[in-house]
A and B are shown apart, each in its own frame.
Chain A
Amino acid sequence: MATEESKNAAAGSGTPTGVQTSPYEGFVYLPLIAGWLVPGAGHFVLGKWWRGALLAASVVGMFATGLAMHGEIGSEVHSILDLLGLAGGLGTGLLYIVARVAGWGAAQAQVTTADWGTRFIWVAGLLNVIAAVDAHNLRTGRKS
């Protein structure tokens, strides 16, 4: 019966257990946390400058467009949908906190475009979470 190691050796795998190793050193969750707090920072930590810059531009651009359309920031939570929106907004990390402290955005959507702006802000947060998880996957070696 072939062992796992002999199977990997026969398949030409460089690692005995088949688990990919990462070239990066240090705290494994740093890219995830940095990427959540500052859009693109997770990729910057890993030296993926172009990917990080494009991700940062996309997330910040989406967030800024939402603000420009008078999207809601820091509204009170009245329903489960509001809670999901708050979670989406918090996905942008420090951007959301800064916007809330500075009083950017609208307290309540008054026009149709403000409603779209609120969705832009939510989606910016969700995209940032995807980007942060991607940085984590790069760090752990799941993705190259």
Chain B
Amino acid sequence: MTYFPAVLLFALFASTVFGITQRETPVRMFRYGLYCFSLFVGSAIVLSWVMWLIAR
């Protein structure tokens, strides 16, 4: 498994648990889960580019 699929799987599983446990209604659970997922994946992409720029 390469790095990006691992990030996607990690973000999916973690954000599912966060969404269900941190909010009370199904709609808010879904929205919060989606928010967490986008933060996980987005921050991984941004940090990857930052590391790439530092390494140059």
Which residues on A are within 8 Å of B, measured CB to CB?
51, 54-55, 57-59, 61-62, 65, 68-69, 113, 116, 120, 123-124, 127, 130-131, 133-134, 143-144
Contacts and interface: CB of A to CB of B under 8 A. Distances in A.
Contact of B14 (A57, A68, A123): A123
Given A65-B9, A116-B6, A120-B10, A130 B1 contact: no
A47 B17 CA distance: 18
Interface of B: 1, 6, 9-10, 12-14, 16-18, 20-21, 24
A15 B21 CA distance: 25
Contacts of B20: 51, 54-55, 131, 134
Contacts of B16: 54-55, 57-58
User: Chain B contact residues: over half helix, strand or loop, or mixed?
Assistant: helix
Contacts of A65: 1, 6, 9, 13
Nearest to B33: A54
Contacts of A62: 9-10, 13-14
Contacts of A143: 24
User: Chain A contact residues: over half helix, strand or loop, or mixed?
Assistant: helix
Contacts of A124: 13
Contact of B10 (A59, A123, A134, A144): A123
B17 A69 contact: no
A127 B24 contact: no
A62 B9 CA distance: 8
